[in-house]
Structure 1
Amino acid sequence: MTVENTSTLRLRLRPPAHRVSRKAVGQWTVSAAIGWIVVIGVQAVVVATSDDPPSWLSVTLTICCVLAAAHLIVMPQWRYRVHRWEVTGEAVYTQAGWLKQEWRIAPISRIQTVDLERGPIEQLFGLAKLTVTTASAAGPLHISGLDHERAVELADELTRTTQASPGDAT
C-alpha cells in the first residue's frame, strides 16, 4: 500500500522504527487494573455482604479473576511489542493495538495540528500521548506511551517540519 501526495512522493506503509517507552507497560497495566478492580470489587462486595448470593455470581467472580490475571499479564507486554512510531522528513508512521492492530502513515504535508495529552496515570509514569491530526477521513494518528520529554521534542519537531512544508494540509 502506498500513499501519494501532491509532489508525487511515494510513501510505503512499513513497520515504524521506534518502540514506545518501556514505562508504557506499567501505565497500561495500571489502567487495565483499575477497570478490573471495579468489576471484581462490585461482585466481591455483593457476594460477601449478601445472605444468599446467587451461585452464578460466584462463578462470574471466579471467571473475572482468571480473565483479569491473564489480561494484566498478556496485554501490556503484547501492546509493547506492537506499538511503534517513526517520524521522517516526509511522513509520520504509527503502529498500535494488540487484538486489533492498526498501521497508519500520514505525509507531513497533510498534518494540520499536533497535540500533546497527559492523563493522571500518564503523568504518574512520566508519559504522554501525541495526537497528529491530518486531513484524513480516517482521523488523527495517536502515539501513546511516549516518554514526556521525548513527546515534547517530537511535537516541536513536527511543528517545525509542518511549518516548513508547502501546502495547506488539505
Structure 2
Amino acid sequence: MQLREPANLVSPRAVRMWTVEAVLGALFLGAAQVGWWLLDHAADRTLHVVLAVAWLVLSTAYAIGMPRWRYRVHRWEATRHAIYTQTGWLNQERRIAPLSRVQTVDLERGPLAQLFGLATVTVTTASAAGPLEIAGLDLEVARGLVDTLTTAAVAEKGDAT
C-alpha cells in the first residue's frame, strides 16, 4: 500500500517569499565575495572572476528553481485524528502525527512572512523526530489550522506522550 500525498498545498505566495529569501541569501554571499575581492591585493584576479561567475549561475538557478520545486512538494493535511505533512525540496519527508501525541501548536511569522501575509505552523509532538512544520500558509489558513489542531488535541484522550 502506497501512502498518498497530503491534500493541501501551501499558499502560492510562498513561492515569492522563498524567492526573496534565496535572493537575500545570494546577495549576502555576493557581498562577502566583494569584500574578499577588495581585501585581496593579489595581481591575478582569475579566482575571483571564476567564483563570481559560479556564484551568479548557482544563485540564479537556486532562486528560480528552489521555490517552485519546494511549492510543488510542500503539502499538509489535518484530519480528526492526525496531522500529515510533506516537506523538503531535495530531501523530502512525509510525517504523520496522531493528535493524541500533539503537545503544542505554534504560529510564527517572520518579517518576510508578514510582508507576504504568510505564517508557519509548528506542531510539537512527543516524538524524537522533532516537530512538524508547515511553512508558507496564508495567515488566515494558519490561524484556522492552529485553532482546529488545538481544539482536536485537547479533545483527544491521552497525555501526548
Cα distance in 2 for residues equivalent to 1:63 and 1:168: 52
Which moved further from structure 2: 13-22 or 92-101?
A: 13-22
Partner in structure 2 of residue 62 of structure 1? 53
Moved over 6 A (4+): none
Tell me the TM-score normalised to structure 1 length. Answer: 0.88
Q: Give the counterpart of 1:38 among 28, 44, 48.
A: 28
Amino acid at match of 2:29: V
Question: 5+ unaligned residues in a row in structure 1: which ranges?
Answer: 2-11
What SS is found at the alignment partner of 1:74?
helix
Partner in structure 2 of residue 8 of structure 1? none
CA drift at 1:40? 1.4
Which moved further from structure 2: 46-55 or 88-97?
A: 46-55
Cα distance in 2 for residues equivalent to 1:35 and 1:82: 22
> Does residue 79 of structure 2 align to residue 88 of structure 1?
yes
Cα deviations by residue, 1:8-62 (Å, 9 ceiling, x for unpaired): xxxx843100000000001101111111001112323544686646321110011
Amino acid at match of 2:28: V
Whether the 8 Å contact between 1:106 and 1:134 is mirrored in structure 2 is: yes
What is the total number of aligned residue pairs between the two structures? 160
Whether the 8 Å contact between 1:47 and 1:58 is mirrored in structure 2 is: no
Q: Give the counterpart of 2:109 among 118, 130, 134.
A: 118
Identity %: 55
Partner in structure 1 of residue 160 of structure 2? 169
Cα distance in 1 for residues equivalent to 2:18 and 2:114: 13
Q: Give the counterpart of 1:154 among 139, 145, 149.
A: 145
Amino acid at match of 1:104: R
Amino acid at match of 1:26: R
Cα distance in 2 for residues equivalent to 1:34 and 1:159: 35
Question: 5+ unaligned residues in a row in structure 2: which ranges?
Answer: none
What SS is found at the alignment partner of 1:130?
strand
Cα deviations by residue, 1:102-126 (Å, 9 ceiling, x for unpaired): 1000001110110010111111111
Cα distance in 2 for residues equivalent to 1:162 and 1:46: 52
* Change in 2 beyond 3 A, CA 1:167/1:64: same
What SS is found at the alignment partner of 1:142?
strand
CA drift at 1:94? 0.2
> Does residue 134 of structure 2 align to residue 143 of structure 1?
yes
**For the aligned residues, what is the CA RMSD?**
1.7
CA drift at 1:69? 0.7
Partner in structure 2 of residue 131 of structure 1? 122
Cα distance in 2 for residues equivalent to 1:111 and 1:13: 22
Q: Give the counterpart of 2:12 among 22, 36, 58.
A: 22
Amino acid at match of 1:14: R
